[in-house]
Amino acid sequence: MKKIDCYVVDTLGDFDKEVVRFVKKKRYKRLPDQIEELEEQLIKGDFPGDLIKREDTPVPHEIYKLRLPNPDTNKGKSNGYRVYYLVVTEQRLILLMFIYYKKEQETVSSTFIDGLVNGFFLDAMPYDDSEDADH
């Protein structure tokens, strides 16, 4: 049975700018190809990496952390990139939220990642003022 492409992949915040920064300033030329390969996996519904959080309300979603090697340095995953992405299953949407290079930044706090997710949901969900209207 053939698997159907079923997810839309997009980026959030400064994700694209960070990729460009790594390519220009660090000369890590292979990163865009790695991101493209990742997007192809995600579109097909394959979620590589570690599931770090699952929320069931108000909008069911999952957050993953993926360790990507940096082939430009030949150091493997331990000194590579970390990519955080959000899967919003009901909307069939995946957002590449944040990328960093392990040598530049040791870790990212869960508070920071939660802030990105909450910011997305606040921006994406329209405010319903029907409860505030006088009847």
Quick: pLDDT tens for 40-63: 999 999 999 999 988 886 788 999
Distance of CA 43 to the CA centre of its chain: 13
Angle between helices 31-43 and 15-25 (to 10 degrees): 150
Higher pLDDT: 82 or 89? It is: 82
Confidence check: pLDDT of 127 > 60? no
Higher pLDDT: 134 or 10? It is: 10
Confidence check: pLDDT of 77 > 90? no
Top-confidence range, 4-13, 35-44, 124-133: 35-44
Going from N- to C-terminal start, the domains of the chain cover: 8-122
**pLDDT tens per residue, range 89-106:** 888 999 999 999 988 888
Higher pLDDT: 25 or 112? It is: 112
**Is the distance from CB of 6 to CB of 89 less than 8 angstroms?**
no
pLDDT band at 5 (very low <50, low <70, confident <90, very high): low
pLDDT, averaged across the chain: 84
Q: Which pLDDT score, from 0 to 100, does residue 116 have?
A: 87
Q: Which pLDDT score, from 0 to 100, does residue 59 have?
A: 81
Alpha helix ranges (H) inside the chain: 15-25, 31-43, 110-124
Question: Which residues have C-beta within 8 Å of that of residue 43, sequence separation ≥ 6?
Answer: 5, 6, 7, 8, 9, 94
Q: Which pLDDT score, from 0 to 100, does residue 133 have?
A: 46
Question: Which residues have C-beta within 8 Å of that of residue 61, sequence separation ≥ 6?
Answer: 54, 55, 86, 87, 88, 89, 117
d(CA 85, CA 48): 10
Measured between alpha carbons, how far apart are the two ends of the chain, in Å? 55
Question: Which residues have C-beta within 8 Å of that of residue 54, sequence separation ≥ 6?
Answer: 61, 62, 63
CATH number assigned to the domain covering 8-122: 3.30.2310.20
d(CA 103, CA 42): 26
Higher pLDDT: 112 or 135? It is: 112
